């Protein structure tokens, strides 16, 4: 009789669901929403408290991003209300004023993070990934693809983690590049195969874009972890690239 049981597969977490509440339609629809989607988040945009509350009745979110200076009910009041009715919700405040009183009130009334405008989408993305570690999620949980103490991709592929545990948010092209290299860690992946992972039309893809992408990933990694060993993303002359062990 075979007593062995089939292990239950561990599923990657679904994208973090984020409600962005910002009355500046240009900032919301042209910067925040597309920028956060490019970093792998499932985002919906709202212009004021009424729209947000309706959205929260229709679906569950993991995080709400709130501009303080909203028309009608302001972001500080919304944060206080949401913290009472949804204790596990992540709340990120955006402000253009930098007022010390607003900063203190926001954190005191329930905000997890307080960020000043002008916004940097990459900083918001890193903030959300960091915050997600502390949030209750309905998914099974993430599993790292590499061992702790090394450069590694988290299981959803949208974060590169430094050996010290610092998070680097990745864009869609960066994620595609590193995910393929991580699946074949220690092996050379040909340029043509990498290009195929980055585009639906390889014939219309400038190969120099791949070189620029690799350079950008290396630069982001070095900036995020200047004291760590460099990200082992190496060029193999005439062939492609390898993510070394």
> Does residue 220 fall inside a structural domain?
yes
Q: Smallest Cα–Cα separation from 81: which of 95, 66, 96, 71?
A: 66
Instruction: Identify the CATH number of the domain in which residue 128 sits.
Output: 3.40.50.2300
Q: Label residue 124 by pLDDT band (50, 70, 90).
A: very high
How far apart (Å, rounded) are the C-alpha atoms in residues 128 and 117? 16
Provide the edge-to-edge strand list for the sheet that holds 42-46: 42-46, 17-21, 63-67, 90-95, 113-116
- The answer to whether residue 118 sits within a structural domain is yes
Most confident range (mean pLDDT) of 28-32, 83-87, 141-145 is 28-32
Query: Does a structural domain hold residue 205?
Result: yes
- Alpha carbon 164 to chain centroid distance? 18
Mean pLDDT confidence for 203-214: 92
In eight-state DSSP terms, residue 238 is: T
Which position has the token pair 């206080």?
80
Task: Note whether 125 and 36 are within 8 A (CB).
Answer: yes
Say if residue 202 is in the same domain as residue 113: no
- Length, in residues, of the chain: 245
Do residues 26 and 125 both lie within one domain?
Answer: yes
- Is 184 inside a domain boundary? yes
CATH number at residue 200: 1.10.10.10
User: Quick check: is 191 in a domain?
Assistant: yes
pLDDT of 28 higher than 80: yes
| Structural domain that includes position 36 | 17-132
Q: Is the residue at 41 inside a domain? A: yes
- ∠ CA 116-220-129, nearest 5°, is 55
DSSP-H helix ranges across the chain: 25-27, 33-38, 49-58, 75-85, 100-108, 121-132, 172-183, 191-198, 207-224
CA atoms within 13 A on the CB side of 65: 31
Instruction: Give the pLDDT band (50/70/90) at residue 137.
Output: low
- Sequence-ordered list of residues with C-beta below 8 angstroms from that of 13, at least 6 positions apart, any chain: 137, 139, 140, 141, 142, 155, 156
> Is the domain of 113 the same as that of 35?
yes
User: Which pLDDT value is given to residue 8?
Assistant: 45
Phi, psi angles (nearest 5°) of residue 236: -115, 105
Q: Is residue 74 domain-shared with residue 125, that is, in the same domain?
A: yes
Residue 4 lies in a domain: no
* Closest to 225 (Cα-Cα) out of 157, 145, 174, 149: 149
Q: Is residue 206 part of a domain?
A: yes
Residue 157 has pLDDT above 70, yes or no: yes
49 and 156 in a single domain? The answer is no
33 with 118, same domain? Answer: yes
């Amino acid at each position: 009789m075979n007593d062995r049981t089939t292990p239950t597969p561990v599923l990657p977490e679904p994208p973090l669901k984020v409600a962005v509440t910002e009355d500046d339609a240009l900032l919301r629809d042209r910067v925040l929403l597309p920028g956060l989607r490019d970093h792998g988040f499932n985002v919906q945009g709202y212009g004021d408290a009424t729209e947000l509350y309706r959205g929260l009745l229709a679906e569950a979110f993991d995080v709400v991003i709130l501009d303080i200076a909203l028309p009608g009910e302001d972001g500080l009041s919304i944060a206080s209300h949401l913290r009472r009715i949804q204790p596990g919700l992540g709340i990120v405040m955006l402000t253009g004023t930098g007022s010390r009183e607003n900063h203190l009130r926001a954190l005191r009334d329930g905000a997890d993070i307080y960020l000043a405008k002008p916004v940097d989408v990459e900083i918001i993305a890193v903030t959300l990934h960091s915050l997600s570690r502390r949030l209750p999620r309905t998914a099974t949980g993430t599993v790292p693809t590499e061992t702790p103490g090394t450069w590694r991709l988290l299981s959803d592929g949208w974060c590169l983690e430094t050996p010290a545990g610092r998070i680097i948010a990745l864009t869609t092209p960066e994620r595609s590049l590193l995910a393929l290299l991580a699946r074949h860690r220690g092996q050379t992946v040909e340029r043509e195969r990498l290009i195929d992972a980055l585009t639906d039309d390889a014939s219309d893809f400038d190969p120099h874009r791949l070189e620029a992408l690799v350079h950008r990933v290396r630069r982001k990694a070095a900036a995020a972890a200047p004291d760590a060993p460099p990200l082992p993303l190496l060029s193999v002359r005439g062939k492609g690239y390898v993510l070394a062990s």
